Structures are given as C-alpha cells and as structure tokens.
Amino acid sequence: MRPVQLNRITVQEAADRYLELVRAKTTTGALSPATAEVYSRDVLTFALIAGPERVLDDLDGPDVDAALLAFGRKPDGRRRDGAGEPRTQSPTSQARFRRSVSAMFKHALRAGWVQVDPMTVVTVTARERGGLRAERRALTREQATGLIGAASSIAVGAESGGPRRRDQRTGLRDALIVLLLTTVGPRVSELVRANVEDFYTGDGVRYWRIFGKGGRTRDVPLPQDVAAVLDAYLAEGRRPPAAGPAEKALLLSWRGRRLARGDVQAVIDRVRREVEPERRRSVTPHGLRHTTATHLLADAVDMDAVRRVLGHSDLSTLGRYRDELPGELEVAMRAHPLLRDR
C-alpha cells in the first residue's frame, strides 16, 4: 500500500537507514553476519555510484540501469587476469548486487521513501553468463536521435570551445565514438583497434576499413555528418604521442594511450547525460550495434547491405540483431503496400 506522505530523503540517508534494519535483523538471527556484510557493501556501493546527495525518489529506471551497469564494470581487486590486472565483477557478484539494490527499494517503497519502485521498470537483468545486461538492447528512434544529437552538440562545442587542458580535450573523440557506434554499428573490439590509416577517401566518400572477426575486412562508407566529425577530430581533437605503440591508434586517452574496451561505456554514459531526460536510456556498445541493425532493417534497407555493414558472414545472424520497436506493426499496417494507391 502506498504511504500517505512521501519522505524525500537522500540516497545516502536511505542506505544508512536501510542498513540499520539489516543490522537489527542480524541481532535477531534473521540474517547471518556474512549476509548482512554483503548487503551493506552492495547498498553503500550503490549509493556512491548513484549519487549520495541525490533524492532517492528522483531516481528512475534509467538511473538505476546506469548504476547497475557501472557496478558491473568496477574492477574487482580479488580477481586478476593473466597480466595481473584486476578483472571486472563476476556474473555472480553482479547478480547479487542487483538483488541487494532490489531489496533496498522494496523496503524504501514500504517506508515511504519512494512513490514507485524503480526496479519494476529497469531494463538491466542478471544473466547466468555475462553478468548484468540491458534486456532491451536497441534504442528507439527517439532515443537514438537524442543520443546522436547530444554527440553532435558536443562535437560543435569542442570545436568552438577554445584551448583546454589535455584531460579536457575529449569532446570530439567522445562524439566520434558515439556516432560511429550508433550509425555504423562496429563491435567494440573493432572500434578500439581502429587506426588512423584505416580511414580513406574514394570518389569523395569517406570509408572505414574495419578489421573484423576471423581476419575478415569490410569497407564501410561513413555518413556525411559522421565523416565531418572524424575529420574535425583528426585535425583538432587527436593529440598523438610522438612515438610508441599508440602512435597509429584512432582513439586515444588524454594521456596518449590507445583507448581500452572498458573506456567506451564510460564515454557513452558521459554523452548520454546530455540527452533530454524523456529520450535518455542507458545502453551498451553492443546495444548501439543492435540499434544500427534494427533501424536500418526497419527502414527497408537491403538485408545483405546491413549484413555487410555489420560484418556478419551470413544473413541468418541478422535475426539476433533485429530488435522489436514499439509501434512498428501499427506503422507497417498504416503504410500497407497493397492499399497505398487507394
């Protein structure tokens, strides 16, 4: 039952109050100390990611989606790869984190801290393999154009913003990343592997030679707007090191190193914050690949052309990348080809 009066407390205050309840359950034996410790760690981490000073009731589904995905990318100091670098959170830890956050919001609804439980509208779910993933991957047309518009505005601002510190000269790069992912749909590995020499001009058209899976390459023409941002980035936004392994890399960190796969999601999130709230939705790099395929196919682009853009070896793979869009059946029937002349 919805409480009579809403108590607008901050995320940090909600976490502290909820953890008092968790500790009380420990003393009564309802929760084990180990379980209580896990709840405490997860809830405090969520508060830190979501913004401790924000009002809890102001968090919506996309805010919680972004926090869940951000946790999945957090380094786990207890797990190391072959090179000794920290791995990201395991799928088990990510699923547990989602359960902890869900339990806190259920209590928040009963306590009158939120009007609606945002967990009922989040799109990020826990997978047995791969951890937390957005359930609906492709952006709608409004969401995609909102993201593209935000990236384009950032690019314009970066070109006219005057001199900045090295760590602030990333506007053109961030805009280019989002535009390439949304309109061309490369795999994130293909994007971060790209070198400057992979882009060339033929008959007035800018092409990207993408080195994909299995040693296969494909030459994809860039939309004119994307090509313009690429040229601006190469002319003004890219500051390559004098020499070294990253000398040829297209995408560089502000320190002059080749951008890593894990950095791309942070770039998308940064651009997404500039989108109008009603068109904003959390999305992964692979979700933008789905967005490219979905909207090209929905606009009746030849299936084989879409296959070649995405770098699939056969048409059957496209089925996995074609997501449903709200209202598409209604649009199709309104524009029925057999009734168009009438």
Instruction: Please list the active-site residues.
Output: 187, 213, 286, 289, 312, 321
H-type alpha helices, 162-284 = 171-183, 188-193, 224-232, 261-272
Both tokens of 338, joined, read 């057999």
| Whether the Cβ atoms of residue 185 and residue 208 lie closer than 8 Å to each other | no
> Which conformational region is residue 322 in: left (phi greater than 0), alpha (psi within -120 to 50 degrees), or beta?
beta
Name the CA dihedral angle for 248, 253, 257, 258, rounded to a multiple of 10 degrees.
-50
Burial class (CB in 10 A: 0-12, 13-18, 19+), 115: exposed
Nearest residue to 310 via CA among 204, 231, 176, 208: 208
Which DSSP string corresponds to 44-67?
Answer: HHHHHHH-TTSBGGG--HHHHHHH
Assign 22 to helix, strand or coil. helix
Distances in whole angstroms, Cα of residue 290 to Cα of each of 10, 180, 296, 298, 317 = 36, 13, 10, 12, 12
Distance (Å) of CA 204 to CA 108, 207, 221:
58, 10, 10
**Structure-token match 């951890």, residue found:** 131
Q: Write out the two tokens for 252.
A: 């560089």
